[in-house]
Amino acid sequence: VYQVFENVAKKYDVMNDSMTLGIHRVWKDILIHKMNPCPGTLLLDVAGGTGDIAFRFINYVRSVRQRQLQRKLKHHQNLSWQEIFESYQKDQFNSLGDSQVVVCDINKEMLKVGKQKAQHLGYSEGLSWVLGNAEELPFDDDKFDVYTIAFGIRNVTRIDLALQEAYRVLKPGGRFLCLEFSHVSNPLLSRLYDLYSFQVIPVLGEVIAGDWRSYQYLVESIRQFPPQEELKAMIEDAGFFRVDYENLNFGIVAIHSGFKL
Amino acid sequence: GPAHGRQCHRQQGSGSGSGSGSGSDSGSARPQPPEPSLLRFLVCPLSKRPLRYEEATNELINEELGIAYPIIDGIPNMVPEAARMTRKKPPAEGSEQP
């Protein structure tokens, strides 16, 4: 698995756009909206190497924070200009409202790409990068408000261990969110999807990334991954409550959610 | 000089305050310290015990087990394969990583 991702790291974003016709961006947007984080949230994004989820999270809490500040100022119409100016100064250095995201990935190349992207796009505050194993996280218990794993859990050898670790590092009341390829139950769509996956995607992999085999692997790993109900059961086994899932695009991907009580 | 043409909220003071991305451009051989806020969360992946940051070697050290995790390009490598032993005698357990 590691070598697959070394190869794909640099072309990861381009391939995602091509394979999913850009729709993966929408899926990730939906994930963050479902999360609906408020400022001050502490997020652990696992297998999030290139930063897609992390950046969206930061954008989201930033805009929530903006609205918070605007509302606050509206209520203080009788402040002097000096006081208003000072409150802007103070809040300028807290544009994220103490929100933080830690990106943890097992692959150095993916993290490097992510870090470079962050610099390039101007993300610096509230963002950290750690090389770690989802089955053996280097974080203490009861630390995070939200744990996300987007298109990463199917690459984990022991999913049960990763889920247990997710449970461990979440605070009580914390939320687990998993965005992953899943199963299409509609038979016609399923055939079309298979055709696309096995005929088109490895070819795209060859053309764009010069790597047929890695993308063949990706497609196969999707097929072998447990379907919605089975994953739901595994998440419940790890101790999560109120586990449910939402299919996107007829089950091509699904968002599973659970809570630690 | 450093090639930061980017807009960052925080100034690029080395090692002070939060905000990553301090000068990790090509060719910089200076070891990058980890972000201070990150140190609050990190523990040893094996024993889940706290770690000590050693500035001299830019490593995170688990004194109990006698292992040190390197920090490469500002990214802590928190996998046992990357760690080195700090003592001559190895600790009792071996790491069974797949």
Quick check: B15 pLDDT over 90?
no
> Tell me, what's the ipTM?
0.81
Q: Which of A5-9, A27-31, A105-109 has the lowest mean pLDDT?
A: A5-9
Q: Which of 3.40.50.300, 3.20.20.70, 3.40.50.150, 3.40.50.970 is the CATH number of A1-182+225-260? A: 3.40.50.150
Q: How far is A165 from chain B (nearest CA, A)?
A: 10
**Angle, to 10 degrees, between the axis of helix A81-92 and the axis of helix A52-74?**
170
Q: For testing the chain B interface, which of A58, A125, A155 should be mutated: the one with the most B CBs within 10 Å?
A: A125
Question: Collapsing DSSP states into helix, strand and coil, what is residue B69?
Answer: strand
What does pLDDT average to over chain B?
Answer: 70
Q: Pairing mode, if any, of strands A144-150 and A42-46?
A: parallel
List residues of B whose CB lies inside 8 A of any A CB. Answer: 6-10, 18-21, 24, 34-35, 37-38, 41-46, 48, 50, 69, 72-80, 82, 97-98
What's at A194, amino acid-wise?
Answer: D
Length of chain A: 261
Domain boundaries, chain A: 1-182+225-260
Least confident of A155-159, A243-247, B92-96: B92-96
pLDDT tens track for A22-51: 899 999 999 999 999 999 999 999 998 889
Whole-number mean pLDDT of chain A? 88
B contact test, residue of A88, A140, A159 with most B CBs within 10 A? A140
Cross-strand pairs, B42: A139
Residues in chain B: 98
Quick one: which of A34, A31, A74, A28 has its CA closest to A52? A28
Give the domain B36-85 fold: N-terminal domain of TfIIb (2.20.25)
pLDDT tens per residue across span A58-72: 999 999 988 888 887
What is the least distance, in Å, from the CA of B50 to any CA of chain A?
8
User: CA–CA separation, B82 vs A116, rounded Å?
Assistant: 22
Mean pLDDT, residues B36-60:
90
CA distances to A133, A151, A197, A223 from A217, rounded to whole Å, are 20, 14, 11, 10
Q: A93 touching B, CB under 8 A?
A: yes
For residue B21, the model assigns a pLDDT of 39
pTM: 0.82
Q: What is the mean pLDDT of residues A201-223?
A: 83
Of residues A133 and A214, the one with the higher pLDDT is A133
Alpha-carbon torsion (B42, B46, B48, B49), positive or negative: negative
Residue recorded with tokens 């402040």: A79
Q: How far is Cα A231 from Cα A244, in angstroms, rounded to an integer?
A: 10
A109: closest CA among A12, A217, A221?
A: A12
The DSSP bridge partners found for residue B59 are B54, B70
Is B74 in Cβ contact with A129 (below 8 Å)?
yes
Enumerate helices (H) and strands (E) in chain B, giving the number of each.
1, 5
- Alpha-carbon separation of residue A123 from A58, A126, A254, B71 (angstroms): 8, 8, 28, 21
Q: Residue for token digits 């247990």?
A: A164
**Are residues A185 and A249 in contact, defined by beta-carbon separation less than 8 angstroms?**
no
| Interface residue of B10, B32, B41 to substitute, partner A, most A CBs within 10 Å | B41
Q: Is residue A147 less than 8 Å (CB to CB) from chain B?
A: no
**pLDDT value for A6:** 58
